[in-house]
Amino acid sequence: MSTVTDLQARWQAVSSRLSKAGYGSLPAIPAQDGTIIESPPHSLLPRVGIWLMPDNQLPGILEDFLRFLVPAGDALLVYVEQSIDGIPPGHLRFSDSKKPKARIHTWLAWPDEPGKPFGQAISAHYLDSSLPAANVFAGWLQRTFFS
């Protein structure tokens, strides 16, 4: 499935559920900086914020988003990717769809204080919350919950 088709299918699934719940005027595609659907007039339905991981444009999962927070040029990540790619056929203990999880968890297992959960890895500055992907996500959270 192509990236565009996958994104369209994911967006259509979300839009369909929102439409059935009573939300109207849904955009045809998700906003690149995260989508916010206001509650319908005279309704008790809440405002809804939608973020399609990892960046509203590509297929992926949370760990793909976290990959965007690894500092550019990180030599350890290159080694992690080479290590994972070098696992001989038949010896992988995860499916290809789980590769992003294997990548980020392996990378987080190798710093001075290994095994930190994602939030602590951000606090410890292993993951860089000042990078553009984090800023876009934080902006969406701000608009969704505090505007």
Query: pTM, whole model, 2 decimals?
Result: 0.90
The answer to whether residue 146 sits within a structural domain is: no
Asked if residue 12 belongs to a domain, the reply is yes
Looking at residue 101, its amino acid is K
Residues 54 and 84 occupy one common structural domain:
no
- pLDDT mean across residues, the chain: 95
Q: State yes or no: pLDDT of 1 exceeds 60.
A: no
Q: Within this chain, do residues 83 and 118 fall inside the same structural domain, yes or no?
A: yes
pLDDT band at 99 (very low <50, low <70, confident <90, very high): very high
pLDDT for the residue 3:
63
> Which amino acid is present at 141?
L
- Alpha carbon of 32 to those of 55, 62, 68, 128, 130: distances in Å? 7, 16, 15, 21, 18
Helix and strand numbers, DSSP H then E, in the chain: 6, 2
In the 8-state DSSP scheme, what is residue 33? T
pLDDT level of residue 73 (50, 70, 90 thresholds): very high
Q: Please check whether residue 41 lies inside any domain of the structure.
A: yes
The domain total for the chain is: 2
- Provide the pLDDT for residue 4: 65
| pLDDT of 2 above 70 | no
Structural domain includes residue 134: no
Q: Do 91 and 124 have their domain in common?
A: yes
Any domain includes 23: yes
Identify whether the C-beta of residue 69 lies closer than 8 Å to the C-beta of residue 107. Answer: no
18 and 54, same structural domain? yes
33 and 78 co-located in one domain:
no
CA–CA distance, 136 with 119 (Å, rounded to integer): 17
Q: Does residue 75 lie in a domain region?
A: yes
Any domain includes 136:
no
Domain of 106? 70-128
Residue 147 pLDDT: 87
Give yes or no: residues 54 and 76 share one domain: no
Q: Per the domain annotation, does 140 fall within a domain?
A: no
Q: What is the mean pLDDT of residues 114-118?
A: 95
